[in-house]
Amino acid sequence: MKAWVLHSINDIRLEEAPLPSPKDDEVLIRVKAAGICGSDIPRIYKNGAHRMPLIPGHEFSGVVEDTGSEAFSYLKGKKVGIYPLIPCGSCGPCRSGHPETCRNYDYVGSRRDGAFSEYVSVPARNVRVLPDNISFEEAAMLEPMAVAAHALNLGTGNNNDGGAGSDYETKAYSATHADKRIVVCGLGTIGLLLTMLILERGFKNVYLIGNKEEQMKIALSLGIPKENFLDSRAGNVIHEIRNTASEADVFFECVGKNECLSYGIESTAANGSVVLLGNPYSDMLLSRDTYWKILRNQLDLRGSWNSTFLPDGKPGREDDWDYVITRLEKKKIRPAELITHRLPITALDRGFSIMRERSGYFCKVMMTNPE
């Protein structure tokens, strides 16, 4: 099969690789679409993967081509989305229903071979069978959508559950919560998907911080008033937030930079929440005065990483993947509108280059394999 193999830092090549042979608990996926995540670029060009050689790629969808045992034969031919985090199932977080914080996890595309290829083997428990009206491209965006949904619940829910849970449909989105002032800082794929989900849930006082004209156009197309788009290139962002939103009840930091973290702490109302989900570009440092604001305003700082996926289900609890699949099936959100580049597997290196060199605007760069 064709696959992009990362041999060492800054050395990724398209080559013929052996077809994976699924183990007893695995299924073989014929990859139909795979998105390049922002984290893939430093993995390829700067930091490397946990082991190399390795095939990257963790945002993907496909069709079950084969199974390692007859126990999973019912999955053959099914269209599926794939949860890339492979939890151990036995540590404390796993036992409590939070596999996203597993202490001994494996991961498709960074610790084991991933989806920048024609085929990949994954545990059968990590696939979710999808309705026919969800496209392969939409399904390849389930992973970042679920990450956004997970952060949304952490910032606006009434519980400390950490996953989606029944609060999605009841307490967390009651009329009183709809008036919360919400700021999203950073309008890459995650920030824009988060914005779609925030608006779909009925929140009305939504403000976005971006730095590109294209981002403003997307924000306007989603229904964000022009005055609620705050251009970080234009001046004092904290001043602009206070002028428009007064103060934020919930601030989502989707960038991973010091100045954006400071924006959140400086502009969030007393007893408000700052949710951190941007991968850090470098060490995150706070000035003494900024740190004081956390204390004096009694701010709740929450980290958010990955999403909750419960393969066996849990009575009374909907996981993040259930939530976004339902929204996709009902056409309540439009993630495919964020795809700016579609490339065949043979030209995927052009996508890596576009994202690395930032040569023009991009949002989601998608590898599409033929039907």
What is the model's pLDDT at position 187? 97
Per-chain mean pLDDT for the chain: 91
Confidence band for 347, pLDDT divided at 50, 70 and 90:
very high
Long-range contacts of 280-287 (CB under 8 A, 24+ apart): 280/256, 281/255, 281/256, 281/257, 282/258, 284/256, 284/258, 285/258, 286/258, 286/261, 286/262, 287/262
Q: Which residues contact 8 (CB under 8 A, 6 or more apart)?
A: 48, 52
DSSP codes of every residue in 83-133: --EE--SSSHHHHTT-GGG-SS-EEBTTTB--SSBSEEEEEGGGEEE--TT
Provide the token pair at 130. Answer: 């999808």
Task: Over range 173-191, report the average pLDDT.
Answer: 82
pLDDT given at position 171: 40
How long is the chain? 371
Asked if 120 and 21 count as a contact pair (C-beta separation under 8 A), the reply is no
Q: What is the pLDDT of residues 139-150, one digit of tens each?
A: 999 999 999 999
**Tens-place pLDDT, residues 88-137:** 999 999 999 899 999 999 999 999 999 999 999 999 999 999 999 999 99
Tally of helices (H runs) and strands (E runs) in the chain: 12, 17
Split at pLDDT 50, 70, 90, the class of 279 is very high
Whole-angstrom distance, CA of residue 21 vs CA of residue 90: 26
What are the pLDDT digits (tens) for 236-268? 788 788 877 788 999 999 999 999 999 999 999
- Domains identified in the chain and CATH numbers: 2-140+334-368 (3.90.180.10), 160-303 (3.40.50.720)
**pLDDT reading at 219 higher than 70:** yes
- CA pair distance 39, 19, nearest whole angstrom: 26
Q: What is the pLDDT of residue 216?
A: 94
**Digit-coded pLDDT (tens) for 7-20:** 999 999 999 999 99
